[in-house]
Structure 1
Amino acid sequence: MIIIAFFGAVVFLYNKVNNHYVDLGEDASPPMKLHPIVEKKKDKLLEKTASIGIDVVITEKWRSNERQNKLYAQGRTENGNIVTHAEGGESYHNYGLAIDYAIRNENDTIIWNISYDGNNNGEKDWFEVAEIAKDLGFEWGGDWRNFKDYPHLQMDFGLSISQLQSGLRPTNEDKKEE
């Protein structure tokens, strides 16, 4: 546990020194749209997947705390399957740092089957999209150990939910493209 705390402190200080985030304070309002870098990388993802014959549909972007709470209730106090373990304010969607995707087939039907191979290249489209997204800097929910969230992509910029809740926000500068 001490090692994790130490590593977290090192990342925090590195980001602070390199101006990867700004501290807006505890009273900071969460953003109401995607972070500009996430928006740019989302567009690049759509462009790259289209070039290999995969029609990706972005099904969720920024999400309000109210919407997040409704999704959290699903499978608990409301009908449906559990789709999230995060309540309002506990999701990277609430800070404009996450998107969800699905695949659309040639009949304009949204495909949620992660084994689907619509471009017929012998690879699962969902995993092809995830690899492209990871190359662009996204973290994929399909790689998580406890709760596989295959549609989910996020860019946390080294910030935890707790740090975002306390008012830290990533800057709009993409250091990787300088």
Structure 2
Amino acid sequence: MIAAVQQELGVEVDGKAGPQTWGAIYERLVKKEIDGQKPCDALALVDSRSEKVIATLLPEVRPIARMLVQKASAAGIAIKIISGLRTYEEQNALYAQGRSAPGNIVTNARGGYSNHNFGIAFDVGVFEGNRYLPDSPKYKAVGALGVDLGLEWGGSWKTIVDQPHFQLRPTWAAGITEKQMLAELRSRHDSGQPVFA
């Protein structure tokens, strides 16, 4: 039923009633912008730090990132979006840490091999007041909320568990491996083809 509604509304058909779908329903029924923005973009503006990072993500991912911040808040968990799009160069600099550059190893992905390089992935931080909590059982609760929104959660990965990480897999990548998806994302990036087309 949700897929049929999405098709009728002209939004991505994934069978999950997320912010894009609800925003399109609101726009169709109420026909009104919210503070000069389309409903799916304005449903839930969040804190300014998160909004700066959200602005780096693809438009398809932005409302879901906002919705995750709001759902976490409604559950009594304060989170912020702390990392979003990275260029290949920024990714390579992170990859060098703990290898050829000072610091601890923070990633196993070189440029072009991280979903962050394509605007479909973001990392969250759990906060208590102004204090960032790098480790907290609250990440598991946020993970469940993200999965409920249709996001993939790094905390459920088998090889490298990354609890702060979330990503929105394009519909065309539903039946393929992460490695295959990344290869296609690199190809689309190099040819200028949209990620979610």
- The two structures have a TM-score, normalised by structure 2, of 0.63
Matched, 1:135 2:135: no
Matched, 1:113 2:126: no
After superposition, the CA RMSD in angstroms is 1.8
CA distance in 1, matches of 2:118, 2:69: 21
Aligned amino acid, residue 75 of structure 1: G
Task: Point out the more displaced range, 150-159 or 133-142.
Answer: 150-159
SS in 1 for 2:82: strand
Matched, 1:43 2:66: yes
CA distance in 2, matches of 1:93, 1:132: 20
Name the structure with the higher helix share.
Answer: 2
Which residue in the other structure is 2:186 paired with?
165
CA distance in 2, matches of 1:79, 1:149: 22
> When the two structures are aligned, how many residues end up with a matched partner?
132
CA distance in 2, matches of 1:150, 1:166: 28
Which residue in the other structure is 2:176 paired with?
none
Q: Relative contact order (alpha carbons < 8 A, sep ≥ 6): 1 or 2 greater?
A: 1
Moved over 2 A (4+): none
- % of aligned pairs identical? 36
CA deviation map 1:66-113 (0-9, x unaligned): 11111111111122222211111111111100000111112x111001
Unaligned stretches of 5+ residues in structure 1 = 1-18, 21-31, 115-123, 172-178
CA deviation map 1:110-164 (0-9, x unaligned): 10013xxxxxxxxx21111000001111111111111111211111214301011
CA distance in 2, matches of 1:104, 1:51: 14
CA distance in 1, matches of 2:159, 2:98: 17
Unaligned stretches of 5+ residues in structure 2 = 1-11, 14-54, 174-180
Which residue in the other structure is 2:23 paired with?
none
- Distance apart, 1:53 and its partner CA: 1.4
Pairing of 1:90-129 with structure 2 (within 5 A): 90-106=113-129, 108-114=130-136, 124-129=137-142
Which residue in the other structure is 1:70 paired with?
93
